[in-house]
C-alpha cells in the first residue's frame, strides 16, 4: 500500500520537524515550501496523503485542497491551522479534506490521525477488492457472463450509469433487459432510491395514463381518491418502463413532456405537478419501424434513444452458457432443496449447440426442469427437452424440419471440430466439397 506523505508548509522548522517525526514512524515523507510547489510535486509523484498549512504565500492551503480534489481525488488531505482559523478548517472539510489539526501540533495526535487514515484506506481497498471478487463470481449486478458481447454491455452500463441520461435498453425477449436496467440504477447516484419496474404490455390500455401520471379524486367514475401515478410516486428514483413500445399513442405526448420537463398533468388536475425520476425504457420491438408506421411518436423515440444499450441474444454469447448453467443449477437446486448435480459432457454440448430462441429465460427454464428430473448427481441428455436434443424446435414441414436439423447438426459438428472443415467432413461422413456446399447453403459461420 502506498503510504507516501507530502508536507506543505512555508515555515521551514515546522515542516522539517513534522517530516522528521513521521519518518521516524516509518513513513516516506517529502516536503514543499508553499502550495504551488506542493501542487507541482503532487502532480509529478503519487502521494497518499498531503498535510498542508492553510496560510501560505503563492497558493494557500484551501486553493491547494481544491486543486487536489479536482486533479488527484485519490489523495487525502489533512489541514493544519491556527485556532483563530477553525471556521476555515471546518470549511475545508466541506470541500473534501479528510480532517484538520490545530497548531501548535501535538505529534501524538498527528500520528493518530495519520494511522487512522491509512487504516481506513486499507479497509476501503479491501472492501473494493472483495466486491470485485464477488462480482467476478456472481456476475455484474446479477448478470452472469464474461463473453466479449456481454462485456460490451457492462462497459456501456458503467459509462451511462453515473449520468442522469435517459437510456433505451433493446433486445429480444428473455435476454435480461430488466437486469441490465437494474444494473444501471444500482451503479448510479440514485442507487439508494427506489427502482420501480412497470411492464407496459401487461397494463390495460385504458389505465395507462392514470397509472403513469396519476389522477385527482373525482376525475372519473370510480376515482374515489387521488392517485399519484408511477412517475410521481418514485420520488427521485428510477422508473423502468418495460415494453415501452406498448404505450398508447395518446399517452406518448404526456410521457415525452414528463421526461423533458419533469412534470406531469394528472387526470382531472388543473395544473401540472413536478416529478423527479430517471427513465430507463426497454423494448423488444423495432421502434424505428413503429415510428415509420405511425404507431410511435418520432420525438419520443429520439428522447428515449439518447443512449442505447443493446442486450445480445444468448446465441451471440455462447461462451457464457457454461457459467449460466452453473448459476441456474445453483439457483434452482437451492430453491428445490437439492444437492447440486454435475452436467454430463454430452448434455453440455447440446446446450452449447442449441439456438436458444427464448434466450437466457429459456435456459433458466430448461435447467430448472433438468434439476427437477435429475434423481442423482448428474444431469444428462435424458433430462433435456426434445427440442434441445434435435438442436431446436422443428417446423411442421418435413422438408423444413430436415433442413433445420441438418443445419443445426452441421453447425454443432463444425464447432466440435474447432472449425476444421476437413475434420468436420470426416466426422459427418461426407466429402469436403459436400460440406462446403452445405455451409454456403445454410450460411453457417465457423465459430
pLDDT, tens digit, 9 for 90 and up, residues 371-391: 999 988 889 888 998 888 775
Give pLDDT, residue 391.
55
Question: Does a structural domain hold residue 168?
Answer: yes
Residue 261 sits in the same domain as residue 321: no
Res. 437: pLDDT tops 90: no
**84 has pLDDT over 60:** no
More confident position, 441 or 97: 97
Q: How many domains would you assign to the chain?
A: 4
Residues 332 and 434 reside in one and the same domain: no
Q: Does the residue 405 lie in any domain?
A: yes
Predicted TM-score (pTM) of the model is 0.59
201, 168: one domain: yes
Chosen domain end from 312, 340, 361 = 312
CATH code, domain with 403: 1.10.10
Is residue 137 situated within a structural domain? no
Of 312, 347, 364, which closes a domain? Answer: 312
Question: pLDDT tens digit string along 323-366?
Answer: 999 999 999 999 999 999 999 888 898 999 899 999 999 999 99
414 is in which domain, residue-wise?
Answer: 398-442
Same domain, 332 and 307: no
Label residue 132 by pLDDT band (50, 70, 90): low
pLDDT cut 70: percent of the chain above it: 91
130 is written with which cell numbers? 472483495
For residue 327, the tally of other CB atoms under 10 A from its CB is 21
Distance CA 329, CA 198 (A): 29
- Is residue 271 located within the same domain as residue 324? no
CATH at residue 106: 3.40.50.2300
Tell me, yes or no, whether 71 lies in a domain.
yes
Inform me whether the pLDDT recorded for 445 exceeds 70.
no
* Pairing mode, strands 378-379 and 99-103: unpaired
Query: Same domain, yes or no, for 305 and 329?
Result: no
408 vs 400: CA distance, rounded Å: 12
Q: Largest alpha-carbon pair distance within the chain?
A: 94
The answer to whether 418 touches 406, Cβ cutoff 8 Å, is no
The per-type count for the chain, helices as H runs and strands as E runs, is 19, 14
Domain boundary among 258, 289, 312: 312
Task: Check pLDDT > 50 for residue 394.
Answer: no
User: Bigger pLDDT: 181 or 141?
Assistant: 181
Partners of 200 in the β-ladder: none
Strand, coil or helix: 445? coil
Residue 28, all three cell numbers: 516516506
Pair 260, 300: CB distance under 8 Å: no
189-229 pLDDT, tens digit each: 998 899 999 999 999 988 999 999 999 888 888 888 888 89
Does 368 reside within a domain? yes
Residue 202 CA to its chain's centroid (Å): 26
Examine residue 144 and state whether it is found in any structural domain, yes or no. no
Question: Is the separation of the CB atoms in 58 and 86 below 8 Å?
Answer: no
Looking at the structure, do residues 303 and 156 belong to the same domain, yes or no?
yes
> Whole-angstrom Cα distance, residue 432 to residue 410?
12
Contacts of 357 (CB under 8 A, 6+ apart): 392, 393
Same domain, 196 and 273: yes
**CA-based torsion, 220, 222, 224, 227: positive or negative:** negative
Question: pLDDT-derived band of residue 131, with 50, 70 and 90 as boundaries?
Answer: low
* Cα–Cα distance for residue pair 240/311, rounded to 1 Å: 16
Amino acid at each position: 500500500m502506498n503510504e507516501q506523505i507530502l508536507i506543505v508548509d512555508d515555515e521551514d522548522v515546522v515542516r522539517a520537524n513534522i517530516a522528521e517525526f513521521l519518518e521516524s514512524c516509518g513513513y516516506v515523507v517529502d516536503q514543499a515550501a508553499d502550495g504551488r510547489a506542493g501542487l507541482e510535486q503532487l502532480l509529478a509523484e503519487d502521494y497518499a496523503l498531503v498535510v498542508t498549512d492553510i496560510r501560505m504565500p503563492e497558493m494557500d492551503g484551501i486553493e491547494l485542497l481544491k486543486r487536489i480534489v479536482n486533479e488527484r481525488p485519490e489523495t487525502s488531505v489533512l489541514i493544519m491551522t491556527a485556532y483563530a482559523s477553525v471556521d476555515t478548517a471546518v470549511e475545508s472539510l466541506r470541500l473534501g479534506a479528510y480532517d484538520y489539526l490545530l497548531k501548535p501540533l501535538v505529534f501524538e495526535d498527528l500520528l493518530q490521525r495519520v494511522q487512522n487514515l491509512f487504516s481506513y484506506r486499507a479497509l476501503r481497498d479491501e472492501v473494493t477488492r472483495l466486491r470485485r471478487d464477488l462480482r467476478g463470481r456472481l456476475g455484474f449486478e446479477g448478470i452472469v457472463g464474461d463473453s466479449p458481447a456481454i462485456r460490451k454491455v457492462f462497459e456501456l452500463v458503467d459509462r451511462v450509469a453515473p449520468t442522469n441520461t435517459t437510456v433505451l435498453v433493446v433486445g429480444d425477449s428473455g435476454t435480461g433487459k430488466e437486469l441490465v436496467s437494474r444494473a444501471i440504477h444500482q451503479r448510479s447516484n440514485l442507487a439508494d432510491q427506489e427502482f420501480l419496474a412497470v411492464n407496459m404490455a401487461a397494463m390495460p390500455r385504458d389505465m395507462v395514463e392514470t397509472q403513469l401520471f396519476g389522477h385527482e379524486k373525482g376525475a372519473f367514475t370510480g376515482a374515489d381518491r387521488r392517485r399519484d401515478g408511477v412517475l410521481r410516486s418514485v420520488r427521485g428514483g428510477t422508473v423502468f418502463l418495460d415494453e415501452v413500445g406498448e404505450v398508447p399513442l395518446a399517452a406518448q405526448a404526456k410521457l415525452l413532456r414528463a421526461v423533458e420537463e419533469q412534470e406531469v398533468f394528472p387526470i382531472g388536475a388543473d395544473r401540472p405537478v413536478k416529478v423527479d425520476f430517471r427513465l430507463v425504457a426497454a423494448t423488444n420491438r423495432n421502434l424505428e419501424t413503429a415510428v415509420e408506421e405511425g404507431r410511435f411518436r418520432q420525438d419520443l423515440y429520439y428522447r428515449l434513444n439518447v443512449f442505447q444499450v443493446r442486450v445480445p441474444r444468448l446465441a451471440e454469447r455462447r461462451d457464457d452458457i457454461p457459467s449460466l448453467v452453473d448459476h441456474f443449477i445453483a439457483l434452482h437446486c437451492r430453491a428445490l432443496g437439492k444437492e447440486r448435480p454435475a452436467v454430463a459432457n454430452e448434455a453440455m454440448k447440446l446446450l452449447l449447440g442449441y439456438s436458444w430462441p427464448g434466450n437466457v429465460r429459456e435456459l433458466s427454464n430448461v435447467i430448472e426442469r433438468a434439476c427437477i428430473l435429475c434423481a442423482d448427481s448428474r444431469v444428462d441428455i435424458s433430462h433435456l427437452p426434445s427440442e434441445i436434443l434435435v438442436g431446436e424446435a422443428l417446423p411442421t414441414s418435413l422438408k423444413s424440419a430436415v433442413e433445420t436439423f441438418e443445419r443445426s447438426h452441421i453447425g454443432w459438428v463444425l464447432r466440435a471440430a474447432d472449425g476444421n472443415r476437413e475434420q468436420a467432413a470426416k466426422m459427418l461422413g461426407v466429402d469436403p466439397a459436400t460440406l462446403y456446399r452445405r455451409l454456403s447453403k445454410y450460411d453457417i459461420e465457423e465459430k
